Amino acid sequence: MKAVQLVAAGAPLEVRDVPKPEPGDDEVLVQVAGCGVCHTDIGFWKDGVPTKKDLPLTLGHEISGTVVEAGARFEHLLNREVIVPAVIPCGECVLCLEGRGNICRAQVMPGNDMDGGFAEYVVTPGRGLCVIDDRSEYELPELSVVADAVTTPYQAIVRSGLLSGDLAIVVGAGGVGTYCVQIAAALGARVVAIDIDDARLSAVAQHGAGLTINSAQTDFKTLRKQVRGQVKDWGLPEHSWKIFECSGQPAGQETAYGLLTYASTLMVVGFTLAKTELRLSNAMAFDATIQGTWGCRPELYPEALKLVTDQQITLKPFVEIHPMSQAPDVLQQVADHKILRRAILVPGGAA
């Protein structure tokens, strides 16, 4: 079968012929319909972020497809359309039993701990798969992005305690931030979106953001004043804001932290290797909560998928399909910010 592999950090990605894998008793073989391209893949390839599995490695962790072979424990999944979780916990350890399976220390991640979805087939543990009973208006490849771009902000929102009528501030309106805006709005929150790109802000303004601010064109004091003014116009309290840092950039982190107020909650969703200098005493003074969130527990996937299939949030304006044979060029364009929507790779030579 064909697979897109990272053979050395920084080296060109290669489309290679590799053996078709076989599932064990507790595994299934998924025929890949589509696999989304995430900036985590770019990090492994270009930024020297180490993978858990030795190279060469097939990248890709946003996978949708059909179970075509199954080990003895998971034969009931044969011929079912599924989404493969981007983080697959063991389901048995203390963290899993405490409801923190997303950070299970025995977890496996496609395209990191094991070969991923930039391939025609992928073997994955059968546990935790999200079965798709109704695709609604979507083609199966399009639903691949649920595996990370949708579920990651969904878990962040659930853990923040966001309620209908709350204020949600999303810093970084591209990628996962796109869906963070939509999910928050679908759950009844008033949403402020902050980004440095007008095109991104224009897109989310049509899909849930009641106020958009370009932070590259606005100094922080003015930005904060705009947020407070909009909060007043909406008749919302000046406390208990839910802030979601999705940019993964130092400037975005500083903006999100600077918006802390009394009893507010800051969810750190984006990732960067860069360091940021903050005055932590602000959290003490505001009695605020700062919480990191990694991936998403598989138990939450059906809820996130339902938001999509019930058309409470939309994927189509924010994704585009590319043939997997063009993956090296597609990932380069994503890295160069020439592809602004979520790229989805589909096996074969043509989309």
131 and 248 part of one domain: no
**DSSP structural state of residue 278:** -
Please report whether residue 351 resides in a domain.
no
Task: Give the CA distances from residue 325 to residues 7, 119, 238, 329, 338, in Å, rounded to whole numbers and listed in that order.
Answer: 16, 10, 51, 9, 18
Please report whether residue 266 resides in a domain.
yes
CA quadruple 296, 302, 307, 309: dihedral sign: positive
191 and 310 part of one domain: no
243 and 319 part of one domain: no
274 and 335 part of one domain: no
16 and 52 part of one domain: yes
Would you state the pLDDT for residue 272?
85
pTM for this predicted structure: 0.95
Mean pLDDT score, 265-271: 96
125 and 164 part of one domain: no
Chain centroid, CA 203 distance in Å: 18
| 332 Ramachandran zone, left/alpha/beta (phi>0; psi -120 to 50) | alpha
Please report whether residue 20 resides in a domain.
yes
pLDDT in tens, 164-189: 999 999 999 999 999 999 999 999 99
Instruction: Select from 169, 243, 167, 246 the least CA-distant residue to 212.
Output: 169
Please report whether residue 272 resides in a domain.
yes
288 and 300 part of one domain: no
User: ∠ at Cα 337 (333, 342), nearest 5°?
Assistant: 80
Instruction: Select from 84, 131, 59 the least CA-distant residue to 334.
Output: 59
229 and 110 part of one domain: no
Angle between helices 198-205 and 176-186 (to 10 degrees): 20
**DSSP structural state of residue 328:** H
In total, how many domains does the chain have? 2
122 and 8 part of one domain: yes
Instruction: Select from 208, 45, 62, 174 the least CA-distant residue to 124.
Output: 62
CATH number assigned to the domain comprising residue 208: 3.40.50.720
Q: What percent of the chain has pLDDT over 90?
A: 94
Please report whether residue 184 resides in a domain.
yes
By residue count, the chain amounts to 351
H helices, E strands: number in the chain: 10, 16
Mean pLDDT score, 92-119: 96
Alpha-carbon distance of 200 to 212, in angstroms, equals 10
CATH number assigned to the domain comprising residue 119: 3.90.180.10
18 and 130 part of one domain: yes
205 and 257 part of one domain: yes
**Structural domain containing residue 161:** 152-292
Confidence band (pLDDT; 50, 70, 90) for 350?
very low
Q: Which of 59-68, 272-281, 287-296, 320-329 has the lowest mean pLDDT?
A: 272-281
DSSP H or E run through 98:
none
204 and 221 part of one domain: yes
Chain centroid, CA 341 distance in Å: 13
Alpha-carbon distance of 153 to 99, in angstroms, equals 17
Task: Give the CA distances from residue 150 to residues 127, 154, 287, 342, in Å, rounded to whole numbers and listed in that order.
Answer: 20, 6, 29, 11
Residue 315 tokens, joined = 């994927």
Mean pLDDT score, 247-262: 96
350: number of Cβ within 10 Å: 8
Mean pLDDT score, 186-204: 97
